[in-house]
Amino acid sequence: MVGAGLAGTSAGLWAADTPFPDACRIVRRRLGGPAGWAGRRIAFITDVHYGNFFGPTDAAALNRLVRAQRPDLVAMGGDLAQTPDTDLAGFLAEWRPGCPTIFAPGNHDLGESTRGSVLRQARAGGMTILDNARETWNGLVLVGLPSALRRRQDLGLLDVPGLKLVLGHEPDVWPSYDQPDLFQLAGHTHGGQVRMLGRPLALPELGRRYPLGEYTTGKNRGLLVSAGIGCVDARLRVNCPPEIIVLEMT
């Protein structure tokens, strides 16, 4: 996604952001939900890429930042690991956010095969895995879909009434989620990781139409694309700092 030589090209023209954790920002967004969720918080993190420029020290820092937001739920949007067989022991030893964590797998978590060890490790570490699965917590419908680049997504899970909070890793699949009262949390793009003059330098497949930020339609549907936490190809971010999104439910 990013070439290592870009740092010198950007010097003096664009601000090189310090990678996680120093430059990490907290993005707050209000979202109307069921009455039982009023006043609660959901912390959304994605694209950690543990094992790729991200180790146990970074995991401890991420845990501290998330805990400081006092979330009632953590939603992980995929690519927790760099590969489907990455050893998550160092991450899980530090991960104590003080609330439940739900996790839907991204393309790096699944790799080319249908399953790796990442999902088994995350489940054993206490996370709730939503892999083509749906749960309802206190009136809020939570749907987790696997990476559309790796496997078929069961869109029938979206055919229920009420607000559906969807963890779907790739944002460009959003138009196919055509049910009303739906809000998708996505990552995958890293916001481009390097942005020049407000535009991403390069974007991955299924991440080119909706690269970063919030999008809405007239059918009470929303999409929020996070710049994510980690890096791919180079430990470098330019005008695109890592972020934790906090949904403040109203």
**Tens digits of residue pLDDT in 103-131:** 999 999 997 654 569 999 999 999 999 99
Q: Find out whether 132 and 157 touch, Cβ atoms under 8 Å.
A: yes
Q: How far apart are CA 232 and CA 111, in angstroms?
A: 15
Q: How large is the average pLDDT for residues 168-194? A: 97
**Taking all residues of the chain, what is their mean pLDDT, rounded to a whole number?**
91
The share of the chain scoring above pLDDT 70, in percent, equals 91
Q: Find out whether 144 and 104 touch, Cβ atoms under 8 Å.
A: yes
Residue 118's nearest CA partner among 87, 145, 142 is 87
Please give the helix or strand (H or E) that residue 107 lies within, else none: helix 107-110
Q: How far apart are CA 162 and CA 231, in angstroms?
A: 35
pTM above 0.85, yes or no: yes
Write phi, then psi, for 93 (nearest 5 degrees). -65, -25
